[in-house]
Structure 1
Amino acid sequence: MQDSGVLVPLHWIGFGYAALVASDGIIGCAKVRSVPSLAAGLLFGGLAGLGAYQLSQDPRNIRVFLATSGTLAGIMGMRFYHSGKFMPSGLIVGASLLMIAKLGVSLFNRPRQS
């Protein structure tokens, strides 16, 4: 069997981010009985998990992960701006911006194909 190329490791940081987003929705539901918070947390956590999986398969496939992180940064950024409370919106904004920065750095640091 021929080696097909470089193995790409699992994107553990991305899966951790996905777990953070999903757990934020679960905690929001448990604390204030907010079903929309649960639905949004699980939806965006699932999309972030899908994006992390896609990055594990192909490091150039950043669309889903970037769209998810960017959308969460925008939505939760507005919530943080209006409430001024760090938890949970400020935490998600910070994590989302870090993920966007990590995706940008990895995009520019990857080797060019000829």
Structure 2
Amino acid sequence: MTDYLGYVYSLIIFAGGIVGYAKAGSVASLVASTTFGSLSGYGAFLVSRDPRNVGFSIGVSLILLMVMGIRFSKSGKFMPAGLVSLLR
């Protein structure tokens, strides 16, 4: 069973980094989104192979939630940190 939701989430992460880079020239945003998007995509691949194998995906999601949650609490801006925190 393919984890379509996991793959869509990883694409949203990639897209967010590309938008951040295009709007603000943020290389850090591009690197972070590539890293976390790839890790999330790999997690979706693992879940697609075995639906009970969710540990990796949960770990990546928790790390992303913590990082973006801290950014949201410091900046108070919903985009992008609040949105990513909400999605996770």
TM-score range, shorter chain: over 0.9
Q: Give the fraction of aligned pairs with identical amino acids, expressed as a percent.
A: 42
Could you list the runs of 4 or more consecutive aligned residues of structure 1 that deviate by over 2 angstroms after TM superposition?
none
Q: CA RMSD in A?
A: 0.7
Return the alpha-carbon distance in structure 2 between the equivalents of residues 39 and 52 of structure 1: 20
Displacement of 1:36 after TM fit?
1.0
Which residue identity lines up with residue 41 of structure 1 in the other structure?
A: S
Return the alpha-carbon distance in structure 1 between the equivalents of residues 56 and 24 of structure 2: 29
Asked if 1:87 is matched to 2:79, the reply is yes
Q: Residue deviations 1:23-80, cap 9 Å, x none? A: 1111111111011110000110010000001000011211221111000000000000
How many residues are paired up?
88
TM-score by length of 1: 0.75
Alignment correspondent of 2:47: 55
* RCO comparison, higher one (Cα < 8 Å, 6+): 2
Return the alpha-carbon distance in structure 1 between the equivalents of residues 18 and 40 of structure 2: 15
Which residue identity lines up with residue 54 of structure 2 in the other structure?
A: I
Query: Where in structure 1 are there 5+ consecutive unaligned residues?
Result: 1-8, 97-114
Return the alpha-carbon distance in structure 1 between the equivalents of residues 18 and 38 of structure 2: 13
Which residue identity lines up with residue 46 of structure 1 in the other structure?
A: S
TM-score by length of 2: 0.96
Asked if 1:38 is matched to 2:5, the reply is no
Which residue identity lines up with residue 51 of structure 1 in the other structure?
A: G
Asked if 1:64 is matched to 2:56, the reply is yes
